[in-house]
Amino acid sequence: MNRSAFSLPALPALVLALSVGACATMAPPPSANPVEGPCNAEGARWAIGQAVNDDVVNRILRDTNSRDARVLEPGDAATMDYRPDRINVDVNDRGAITGLRCG
């Protein structure tokens, strides 16, 4: 009977050693939108009536001092947690921005 290079009792030790390395904490990547303060929806009132797209959302993020944007279409479910660094972009069924609010 030919035995492999690893004996059966060594296998759990190998699995444990590999899994400990996988648990190491990694630093989050740097944000593309550095936030200097809390969200200010007034900074992007220009966007109301605009079609929502990546360029518009990126400018909204910059102009409102927000880290994250959440685009909400009619009927979308959304969590009720308040985040001072997030801008909510409400759009109608045609994809036009109808409102902006922080949180």
pLDDT, one tens digit per residue, over 10-63 is: 656 656 565 555 544 444 444 555 555 699 999 999 999 999 999 999 999 999
Q: What is the set of domains in the chain, with CATH numbers?
A: 41-102 (3.30.10.10)
Question: What backbone torsions phi and psi does residue 44 show, to the nearest 5 degrees?
Answer: -125, 25
Q: What is the pTM (predicted TM-score) of this model? A: 0.64
pLDDT top residue among 103 and 33: 103
**In this predicted structure, what is the pLDDT of residue 19?**
58
Helix (H, G, I), strand (E, B) or coil at 57: helix
CB under 8 Å to 52, separation ≥6 — which residues? 71, 89, 91, 95, 96, 97
Across residues 74-97, what is the average pLDDT?
95
Confidence of residue 64 (pLDDT cuts 50, 70, 90): very high
Whole-angstrom Cα distance, residue 72 to residue 65? 19
Neighbours of 35 (CB within 10 A): 15
Q: Are 88 and 101 in contact (CB under 8 A)?
A: yes
